[in-house]
């Protein structure tokens, strides 16, 4: 039998040991019984003790008192052993639980690290659609070919066109001929090197003097009115900084994400002391007074932070992005923004606020939803990181194949893009849907969430495969909003209600210039210069980035 109290002696009391506690031994041998392990099997220590008692029983004439003493000590040893074994079992269970917790934390950290520190889930996993894939989709598509190393050496220097080249000639300190003639030695050859000098915060004070002229040659001239020079300060009249300086401040803040207080610090380094408030007020004034009308013309036929980019299939495309400020993300705001838009498709993520614009009784009847595969793919990528799910990994690989098709279709006309998608993409979409439907009943956790997200939106997710003008994702507008997040992080103590409107104006112009491969600094200076030259009497539609004659960024 199992011993309930391991401290009890294993042997029955003998007449010479009247104080010993009795033990019910049943029909077992007089040498005593060793306790079993909790699982019903003898422990190693119990087997050893049982062997000792068996050896004692086999010794003829071994005193019963001695047997009792030995049995008692063995029972104590067994009790200690059982205590240690119980601690070991508890420790193993605790270690197993901790290992599970560590695995879960590692999965969470992997997802968080991917989101916050790596380039992106798509690029790290080589699934962003920019990789080279064989459209035959062989089984060994994941094998990476070794690329030949590029020859080492200095790369040819590229200098932007129009940059002023200042020449400084250096001659020997003494060019006098050491012979008897004593003439100065002329140069017959030279070597040259080019260095770049950066002049930070070059400040000039310009005093504008406007003259009033009149002729006083004779009596008849006195009848003519004097002629006054017109002010050249149309845009920034009454302000210390000229328009070019404010454009520079705006580009640094909204294009290069440099907060205004850092600009003020650099000005102080050259003994100028403009306040942050003065710079910020001037930047806002320029936007709200003169640039908002230019931004308004970018909004024609454009959808919300609103992007139109047809360059993947239209060589004459004029891409643009417009940022609209609204006090909330409610669906009613989105519905109002798109109320008068002449649209057929709207590519979005899964935000529920868009549902209002697709409602049958809404103001945008006929507007079709196209969902973004980058968002659907991200759900499976995170599920793969967290759970190592074979299904999630398989879906990610199939999405890679669709992006390979998109890379091959880039630059083709819509009809060719549609034909390629019908041949290559539709079978992949069918396979993805079949796998998700099959796995959905037994899926759990993040995998279940990714499956539900994708199946619910699958009709909209596959709509791009039936129109060559559509894109597989909404990454163009996603790229356009990255700068806003970075500038917001670097901006402190804004404190004004119209700042959001100012942000919307500058980002609309700066990002639209970038989409059209125009340097934002050159573009804004050109726009301001045209407004200033025409004293505000200008056709703002002709100030779009695609009309800008300067600042073209070479490929």
Would you list the DSSP string of 334-393? HHHHTTT---SEEEE-S-GGGGGGG-TTSTTTTPEEEE-HHHHHHHHHHHHHHH--HHHH
Does residue 493 come out as left (phi exceeding 0), alpha (psi in the -120 to 50 range) or beta?
A: left
- Cα distance from N-terminal residue to C-terminal residue, the chain: 88
Residues 505-509 have a mean pLDDT of 86
Phi, psi of 228 (to 5 degrees): -110, 145
- For residue 522, give every residue at least 6 positions away whose Cβ sits within 8 Å of its Cβ, in sequence order, or none: 548, 550, 551
- For residue 27, give every residue at least 6 positions away whose Cβ sits within 8 Å of its Cβ, in sequence order, or none: none
**Choice between 172 and 108, residue whose per-residue pLDDT is larger:** 172
Phi, psi of 430 (to 5 degrees): -65, -40
What per-residue confidence (pLDDT) applies to 281? 86
C-alpha distances (whole Å) from 87 to each of 49, 84, 105 are: 21, 5, 26
Range with top average pLDDT, 12-26, 132-146, 372-386, 420-434: 420-434
What per-residue confidence (pLDDT) applies to 158? 65
- Cβ neighbours of 449 (radius 10 Å): 15
**Choice between 357 and 211, residue whose per-residue pLDDT is larger:** 211
**Choice between 108 and 369, residue whose per-residue pLDDT is larger:** 369
* Angstrom distance (rounded) from CA 219 to CA 425: 89
**Choice between 268 and 127, residue whose per-residue pLDDT is larger:** 268
Token pair 């140069």: residue: 187
* Angstrom distance (rounded) from CA 1 to CA 8: 13
- Cβ neighbours of 243 (radius 10 Å): 22
What per-residue confidence (pLDDT) applies to 493? 41
Say if residue 116 is exposed, middle or buried (CB neighbours under 10 Å; 0-12, 13-18, 19+): exposed
pLDDT band of residue 133 (cuts 50, 70, 90) is very low
């Amino acid at each position: 039998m199992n011993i309930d109290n391991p401290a009890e002696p294993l042997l029955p009391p003998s007449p010479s040991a009247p104080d010993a506690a009795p033990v019910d031994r049943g029909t077992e041998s007089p040498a005593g019984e060793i306790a079993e392990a909790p699982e019903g099997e003898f422990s190693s220590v119990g087997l050893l003790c049982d062997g000792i008692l068996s050896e004692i029983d086999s010794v003829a004439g071994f005193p019963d008192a001695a047997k009792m003493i030995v049995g008692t000590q063995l029972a104590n040893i067994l009790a200690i052993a059982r205590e240690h074994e119980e601690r070991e079992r508890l420790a193993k269970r605790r270690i197993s639980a901790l290992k599970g917790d560590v695995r879960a934390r590692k999965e969470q950290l992997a997802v968080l690290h991917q989101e916050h520190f790596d380039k992106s889930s798509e690029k790290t996993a080589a699934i962003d659609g920019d990789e080279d894939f064989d459209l035959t989709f062989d089984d060994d598509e994941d094998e990476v070919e070794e690329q030949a190393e590029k020859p080492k050496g200095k790369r040819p220097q590229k200098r932007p066109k129009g940059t002023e080249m200042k020449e400084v000639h250096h001659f020997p300190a003494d060019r006098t001929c050491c012979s008897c003639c004593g003439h100065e030695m002329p140069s017959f050859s030279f070597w040259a090197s080019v260095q770049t000098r950066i002049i930070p915060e070059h400040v000039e004070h310009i005093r504008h003097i406007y003259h009033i002229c009149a002729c006083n040659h004779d009596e008849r001239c006195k009848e003519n009115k004097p002629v006054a020079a017109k002010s050249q300060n149309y845009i920034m009249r009454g302000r210390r900084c000229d328009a070019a300086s404010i454009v520079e401040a705006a580009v640094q803040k909204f294009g290069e994400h440099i907060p205004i207080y850092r600009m003020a610090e650099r000005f102080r380094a050259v003994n100028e002391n403009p306040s942050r408030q003065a710079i910020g007020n001037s930047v806002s004034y320029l936007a709200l007074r003169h640039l908002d009308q230019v931004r308004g013309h970018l909004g024609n036929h454009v959808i919300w932070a609103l992007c139109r980019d047809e360059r993947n299939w239209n060589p004459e495309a004029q891409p643009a992005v417009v940022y609209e400020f609204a006090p909330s993300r409610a669906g009613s705001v989105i519905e109002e923004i798109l109320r008068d838009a002449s649209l057929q498709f709207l590519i979005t993520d899964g935000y529920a606020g868009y549902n209002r614009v697709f409602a049958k009784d809404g103001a945008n009847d006929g507007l079709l939803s196209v969902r973004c595969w980058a968002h659907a793919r991200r759900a499976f990528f995170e599920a793969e990181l967290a759970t190592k799910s074979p299904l999630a990994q398989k879906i990610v690989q199939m999405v890679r194949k669709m992006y390979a098709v998109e890379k091959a279709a880039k630059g083709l006309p819509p009809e060719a893009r549609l034909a390629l998608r019908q041949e290559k993409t539709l079978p992949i979409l069918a396979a993805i849907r079949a796998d998700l439907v099959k796995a959905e009943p037994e899926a759990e956790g993040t995998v279940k969430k990714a499956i539900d997200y994708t199946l619910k939106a699958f009709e909209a997710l596959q709509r791009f495969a039936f129109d060559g003008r559509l894109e597989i994702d909404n990454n163009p507008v996603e790229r356009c909003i990255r700068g806003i997040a970075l500038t917001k992080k670097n901006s402190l103590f804004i404190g004004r209600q119209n700042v959001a409107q100012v942000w919307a104006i500058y980002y609309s112009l700066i990002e639209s210039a970038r989409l059209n491969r125009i340097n934002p600094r050159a573009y804004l200076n050109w726009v301001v210069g045209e407004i200033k030259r025409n004293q505000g009497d200008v056709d703002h539609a002709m100030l779009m980035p695609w009309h800008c004659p300067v600042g073209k960024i070479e490929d």
